Structure 1
Amino acid sequence: MNTRKRTREIAMELLYQNTMNERDVKETIADYFETSEETTMDQVDLVYLETVLAGVEEKKEELDALIEKYLVGWKIQRLSRINLSILRLATYELLHMEDIPPKVSITEAVDLGKKYSEESAAPFINGVLDKISKHNEEPAPQEDESSSVSDTLSE
């Protein structure tokens, strides 16, 4: 297993743990390495791990609002904590980590769903993240220059 894939898996596990007991990100990571068989991590992967854990924690309300927007017939409170952790991780990557292609974030999240959740989770996760990815690609509305010029002229 490549190191980023494994690091993403660890990030999801730690996000899941933090849904159970809210703790400081650095504390969570330190505890993980104290109790895990994994004793070292590449510096790049450690930075990724710290970035996504802190980022998800900081942007949790924004992430949850966007996730809930694309849950068809569901409320975020009804999601399993593991699926919510996977969705938060991937949504954070889609919105805030430009160096990770959206397809990679979605594929990795689907793989995590297959490994850690029920059978129906993978297509569900894929559907939600695909909608979020398309939402993220929408260009920001631009002010119509002709109307602002005419507004200025009429003043």
Structure 2
Amino acid sequence: MNRKKSREVAMKLLFEISINKNSISDTIEHYKENNEIENLDFEYIERILRGIDENMEYIDSKIEESSKKWKISRISKINITILRMAAYEIFFEKDIPCKVSANEAVELAKSYAEENSFSFVNGVIGNLINSSEEK
């Protein structure tokens, strides 16, 4: 199964959920019905989506602490989506190395976010990793 592609799909679905407010189950089912799903790890995708949903308050507080003077409401929807995924992986998916989460998030930002957003995303994730190591 392709983890990189699964992470990208999870990001797209999380972004979609943040916009249209559909349930995780409905969003995943709709995706499966309308897209090529071979080589995707839907167990991982669903775990990420549900984990973020269940831990949103904690994740957002960590992002706000790590984004120095940026309130969640000021961060673009795509950037906050990418940051939430990275934060979830850093704090809750201990089998995924922090450097992998950071690199994948920066690559997603380069592909999907505003032109120079990847440097902001990289800085926040660096702070998140430092915060996770202080525990």
* TM category, shorter: over 0.9
**Structure with greater Cα Rg:** 1
How many residues align structurally? 135
Structure 1 residue 73, shift from structure 2 partner: 2.6
Gaps in structure 2 of 5+ consecutive residues: none
Structure 1: segments with no counterpart, 5+ residues: 140-155
Residue 114 of structure 2 corresponds to which residue in structure 1? 118
Equivalent of 1:74 in 46, 70, 75: 70
Structure 1 length as normaliser, TM-score? 0.83
User: Structure 2 matches for 1:96-135, cutoff 5 A?
Assistant: 96-135=92-131
* Residues 98-148 of structure 1, C-alpha deviations (whole Å, 9 max, x = no match): 110000000000000000011221111011011111110114xxxxxxxxx
Separation in structure 2 between the aligned mates of residue 30 and residue 40 of structure 1, nearest angstrom: 14
Give the equivalent residue in structure 2 for 1:50. Answer: 46
1:45-95 alpha-carbon deviations (Å, 9 max, x no partner): 211101000001111111111101111232110111000100000100000
1:15 alignment counterpart: 14
Extract structure 1 runs of 4+ deviating beyond 2 A. 39-42
Q: State the match for 1:29 in structure 2.
A: 28
Q: Once the two structures are aligned, what percentage of the paired residues are identical?
A: 42
> In angstroms, what is the RMSD of aligned CA positions?
1.3
